């Protein structure tokens, strides 16, 4: 970790570990917290702050208020050989999109 004026610079691996720990403490499984942390840190590295770890406090607030379900309870319904419907049941978009990509592959 280093400082640059008003900024604190953190190595990507440290940011991932921190994010996983915070999400797990909020009830997200380690697997899902890791998926989310990887995506958020990658967004930060690409300069897409709207999806980076600065969103973490907002995600925690949504869990606390019950708007987002931290437990994975997604449901996949195969509609045809080439199409499926995923009901994310109020969990994080990171998790639903990860599952959609895995299913598509």
Provide the domain limits for residue 62.
2-104
pTM, to two decimals: 0.85
Q: How is 13-51 classified by DSSP, letter by letter?
A: HHHHHHHHHHHHHTT--HHHHHHHHHHHHHHHHTT-GGG
Query: What does the pLDDT read at residue 59?
Result: 95
48-91 pLDDT, tens digit per residue, is: 988 999 999 999 999 999 999 998 778 888 888 888 888 988 99
- Which residues in 11-31 are b (16+ Cβ under 10 Å) and which e? eeeebbeebbebbbebebeee
In angstroms, rounded to a whole number, what is the distance separating the alpha carbons of residues 87 and 71?
13
The neighbouring-strand residues paired with 9 are 2
> What is the band of 3 on the pLDDT scale with cuts at 50, 70, 90?
low
Residue 52: give its domain's CATH number.
Answer: 1.10.1530.10
> What is the band of 8 on the pLDDT scale with cuts at 50, 70, 90?
confident
Residue 18 has pLDDT above 80, yes or no: yes
Which residue has better confidence, 1 or 82?
82
Average pLDDT, the chain: 91
Domains in the chain, number: 1
């Amino acid at each position: 970790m280093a400082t640059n004026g008003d900024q604190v610079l953190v190595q990507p691996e440290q940011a991932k570990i921190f994010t996983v720990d915070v999400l797990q403490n909020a009830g997200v499984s380690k697997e899902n917290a890791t998926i989310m942390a990887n995506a958020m840190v990658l967004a930060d590295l690409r300069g897409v702050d709207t999806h980076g770890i600065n969103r973490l406090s907002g995600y925690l607030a949504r869990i606390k208020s019950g708007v987002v379900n931290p437990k994975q309870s997604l449901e996949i319904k195969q509609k045809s050989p080439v199409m499926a419907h995923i009901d994310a049941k109020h969990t994080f978009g990171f998790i639903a999109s990860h599952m959609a990509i895995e299913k598509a592959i």
